[in-house]
Amino acid sequence: MAKRYKKLKTAAELQRLMEGHYRQARFLRLGRPLAWVASGAPVELLRAMGVLPVYPENYGALCGARREAVHLCQTAEAQGYSADLCSYARSSLGSMFDHKGAPMHGLPKPDLLVCCNNICGTVVQWFEAVAQHYGTPLFILDTPFIYDHYEQQMQTYVQEQLEDLIRFVEKATGRRLDWKRLEEVVKLSNQTVSLWGEIRALCKARPSPLNAPDLFVNMAPIVVLRGTPGAVRFYQHLKAEVEERVKDGVGAIPQERHRLLWDNIAIWHHLYRFYNYFVNYDACFVVDTYTGGWAHQVPVGGLLEGLASAYATIFLNQSLSYRTELVVDLISEYDVGGFVMHNNRSCKPYSLGQYAIRRAATERTGVPGLIIESDMCDSRAFATEAVRTRIQAFMETLAAG
């Protein structure tokens, strides 16, 4: 018998919200400039200046989930981009070179580009390629990698760049920053982030009300609509529904016998199919490291100061020992019995070091971990049988333990 997910009632609202976002970017800009933004860029500043953001990474995930990423990747590869390059980058570049063949005909042409290397180095070259293609001004926010501690000089360096960013947007768009508006946007952003954090924390319940694919699907607004009233409303509704599940003892999967942790970006092209392999063993991913990346508050105090520290310290910009602590903490907080790490061909900064994190986390918690090789969007890197064999062996090990 095929085991099914319980669909969330807020699914329709999520779809309307996301469709509205992409429709607005193309048709309802009302004179507002459009920025292509990397997922780790301080979008609050742009929103406060009346700039509409769209996210090529979210667009890439969408192409992956629709199983349309491969031909876009091939288009980019035909232009000389390496098949080893991130599949979000290849999907985005492919859609830019051939927008007729791309979902929604690609993203609308940008007026400006803002990227931040707190998530990876690839975004820098990727956005440079976009800038060259469209002849669009590009701002690169450089956040030093945190090997040990976040130091005052890093803070100063990033904060000064935020001032540069304001001047850059002013010059590119002729719009000025309204500080009052920025305060409101940051407040909305923090509300969204709190709600998202609370929703994730509700999954500490047994059975967990959500499974990883639910988290992955529902993270879209926290990425692309952070700092908007629409995102706050959506997460209020989602939280109410998840609370109701917890109150009624309703789990995300029919029977929860194993609680697992997920590391790395989702396998978008096999989303439900892949996680269903685990559902067949009554295993639910109650927590992950990926969607927690957006549960990051802008600290109170000076606005630029807060934005600088929030964006400079995200987990992908931190050391392996920081990431190991994160996994170890989540294992105990969510009481999980095993963890699965997606060794994602696309995402080198996230995947490099997983073997070390796996070993350290198992040594410290006694909880075993499995590494699965795949790619978030490029389904050519997914070998069904090899993946299933590993999952089966891992689940047999957990069941025997």
Partner 1 sequence: MSTPCVWGIDIGSLTVKAVLLDAGGKLLARGVEPAGYGGQQAAEALVRSLLDERGLRPADVVYTVVTGYGRVRYDGADEELSEISCHARGAFHLHPAVRTVIDIGGQDSKAIRLNSAGRVVDFAMNDKCAAGTGRFLEVMAAALDVSVEEFGHLALESERPVSISSTCTVFAESEAISHIAHGATRQDVASGLHQAIASRLFGLASRVGLQPEIVLTGGVALNVGVVAALAKACGQDVTVPADPQTVGALGAALYAAHKGRR
The position carrying tokens 């969510």 is: 334
Among 12, 240, 352, 386, binds partner 1 (CB under 8 A): 386
Say how many residues make up the chain: 401
Within 10 A of 236 (CB to CB), how many other CB atoms are there?
14
Q: Decide: is 389 part of the binding site for partner 1 (CB under 8 A).
A: yes
Task: Single out the segment in contact with partner 1 by CB under 8 A; choices: 14-22, 222-230, 275-283, 392-400.
Answer: 392-400
Which of helix, strand or coil describes residue 344? strand
- Cα distances from 178 to residues 45, 46, 141, in angstroms, run 9, 11, 21
Q: Decide: is 384 part of the binding site for partner 1 (CB under 8 A).
A: no
Judged by beta carbon, residue 30 or residue 400, the one nearer partner 1 is 400
Judged by beta carbon, residue 81 or residue 394, the one nearer partner 1 is 394
Q: Decide: is 84 part of the binding site for partner 1 (CB under 8 A).
A: no
H or E element that contains 240 = helix 229-248
Among 15, 132, 332, 397, binds partner 1 (CB under 8 A): 397
Q: Decide: is 385 part of the binding site for partner 1 (CB under 8 A).
A: yes
Which of helix, strand or coil describes residue 343? strand
Judged by beta carbon, residue 197 or residue 337, the one nearer partner 1 is 337
Q: Decide: is 392 part of the binding site for partner 1 (CB under 8 A).
A: yes
Q: Decide: is 292 part of the binding site for partner 1 (CB under 8 A).
A: no
Judged by beta carbon, residue 34 or residue 391, the one nearer partner 1 is 391
For the stretch 102-138, what's the b/e string if a residue is b when 16 or more beta carbons lie within 10 angstroms of its beta carbon?
bbbebbbebbbbbbbbbbbebbbebbebbbeeeebbb
Among 35, 133, 362, 378, binds partner 1 (CB under 8 A): 362
Q: Decide: is 302 part of the binding site for partner 1 (CB under 8 A).
A: no
Q: Decide: is 282 part of the binding site for partner 1 (CB under 8 A).
A: no
Asked if residues 10 and 19 have their Cβ atoms less than 8 Å apart, the reply is no
Rounded-to-integer distance, Cα 219 and Cα 32, Å? 25
Q: Decide: is 363 part of the binding site for partner 1 (CB under 8 A).
A: no
* Residue 353 burial (C-beta neighbours within 10 Å; 0-12, 13-18, 19+): middle
User: How near is the Cβ of 175 to partner 1 at its closest, in Å?
Assistant: 49
H or E element that contains 389 = helix 384-400
Judged by beta carbon, residue 155 or residue 276, the one nearer partner 1 is 276
Q: Decide: is 352 part of the binding site for partner 1 (CB under 8 A).
A: no
User: How near is the Cβ of 19 to partner 1 at its closest, in Å?
Assistant: 37
Among candidate residues 274, 347, 345, the one with its CA nearest the CA of residue 316: 347
Judged by beta carbon, residue 41 or residue 377, the one nearer partner 1 is 377
Task: Single out the segment in contact with partner 1 by CB under 8 A; choices: 52-60, 137-145, 285-293, 379-387.
Answer: 379-387
Q: Decide: is 355 part of the binding site for partner 1 (CB under 8 A).
A: yes
Q: Decide: is 356 part of the binding site for partner 1 (CB under 8 A).
A: no
Instruction: Using CB under 8 A, count the residues that bind partner 1.
Output: 17
Q: Decide: is 353 part of the binding site for partner 1 (CB under 8 A).
A: no
Rounded-to-integer distance, Cα 28 and Cα 19, Å? 12
User: How near is the Cβ of 396 to partner 1 at its closest, in Å?
Assistant: 5
Q: Decide: is 365 part of the binding site for partner 1 (CB under 8 A).
A: no
Within 10 A of 330 (CB to CB), how many other CB atoms are there?
21
DSSP code at position 288: E
Q: Decide: is 390 part of the binding site for partner 1 (CB under 8 A).
A: yes
Which of helix, strand or coil describes residue 146? strand
Q: Copy the structure tokens of residue 363.
A: 């040594």
Phi, psi (deg, nearest 5) at residue 339: -135, 150
User: What residue ranges bind partner 1 (CB under 8 A)?
Assistant: 355, 362, 368, 373, 381, 383, 385-386, 389-390, 392-394, 396-397, 400-401
